[in-house]
Structure 1
Amino acid sequence: MTEDEKLREEAEEIRKETAEGAPEVAEHDRVAELERQLEEAKSKALYAAAEAQNVRRRLEADKEQASSYAAAGFARDMLAIKDHLDRALAAVSDELRADKTATQFLAGIEATARELDAAFQRNGVVRIKSVGEPLDPHKHQAMMEIPTGDAEPGTIVEEMQPGYMMKDRLLRPALVAVAKAPG
């Protein structure tokens, strides 16, 4: 037993003896103890209220994020359709564009592609800039390195598949070729 503990025990014994002889001292100790318990209860109540408020804020943030990104899976699926439309339009020859029947058909495909782009834009889906940009592993996936003196090493020189972001989330990384020093 330490010296402090001995002193506390002696003080407690003296307080008890004094309390028996002086009821007002015992009443004062009881009031002090009740005040201490009240402060402790207030502290616990404030902590519980703060914790409940934090949980409420977290739930609201989670709900907002879930509703904000609810369409991410659907948007990811629509990217494949966009890729197919873009490849189809890129494959059309100048001869076919000159044909009147094919021109009307192509106009419909181009209108569909524009409408898909507008739907992406309305929902915060944007294409990631790639060519000429430095490689960002959070947005780009390097598929190969191309030796060239025309660009700084680590700079994207070719895009094989466009990447897309939805607001601040990556939907699909851009598949790119990166410059490397020749030789």
Structure 2
Amino acid sequence: MNEETKNEQVVDDANVEEIFDEARETSTDETTQSQEDHTNELEELQKKVTEEENRYLRLQADFQNYRRRVELDREASEKYRAQSLITEILPALDNFERAMQVEGEGEQFSSLKQGMEMVYRSLTDALKKEGVEVIEAVGNPFDPTLHQAVMQGEDSEQESNVVLEEYQKGYRLKDRVIRPSMVKVNQ
């Protein structure tokens, strides 16, 4: 081989070495850039996963709250299912009480009154089975959640704010007041 070819080969080897060095640097820069891109992508994906997990947990909590509310509503509906019927029956019960206070004589009257008392007892027993209770008023302290004051009176023998008379009975269904008692309260 001649010397010129040798020099070209040496130059070519040097050029090849330079080209490899440049390629390695470029490759290293690209690898570093690629790793940074992947790291950023990974962080974004982790943020999205965290957001979706939080969203899932909130939805799950909302659903549990919804189920609890539905269950409470169902229980209340079952507990107070007869409220509208009872509200409709109370005026008839009041009329029975007024009719039984009427005085009269004779065998027919006493038979009629006895029949009315039996019907009245049947109604009150059926209401008691459903959880209806009469609100006691006379002699008790006035309670605005149980009583409706329609008059005030003055009785020196009674304490202030005590119910003196009851004009209309009040009723409670379990723990809910269906109708407050209409009362006269001492000053």
1:44 equivalent to 2:55? Answer: yes
Aligned residues: 159
- Deviation by residue 1:51-90 (Cα, 9 ceiling, x = unmatched): 1111122122223222322321211111111111111112
- State the match for 2:156 in structure 1: 149
SS at match of 1:55: helix
**Structure 1's 116 and 26: CA in aligned 2 closer, same or farther, altered over 3 A?**
same
Point out the more displaced range, 32-41 or 150-159: 32-41
1:57 to 68, 74, 85: 68
Q: CA RMSD in A?
A: 1.9
SS at match of 1:149: coil
1:92 equivalent to 2:103? Answer: yes
Point out the more displaced range, 127-136 or 60-69: 60-69
**Structure 1's 19 and 139: CA in aligned 2 closer, same or farther, altered over 3 A?**
farther
Q: TM-score, normalised by structure 2?
A: 0.77
1:30 to 33, 36, 41: 41
1:140 equivalent to 2:147? Answer: yes
1:122 to 126, 129, 141: 129
| Structure number with larger C-alpha Rg | 2
What is the rounded CA distance, in whole Å, between the counterparts of 1:100 and 1:32 in structure 2? 97
Q: TM-score, normalised by structure 1?
A: 0.79
Q: What runs of 5+ residues in structure 1 fail to find an aligned partner?
A: 1-17
**Structure 1's 19 and 37: CA in aligned 2 closer, same or farther, altered over 3 A?**
farther
Q: What runs of 5+ residues in structure 2 fail to find an aligned partner?
A: 1-27
**Structure 1's 169 and 20: CA in aligned 2 closer, same or farther, altered over 3 A?**
farther
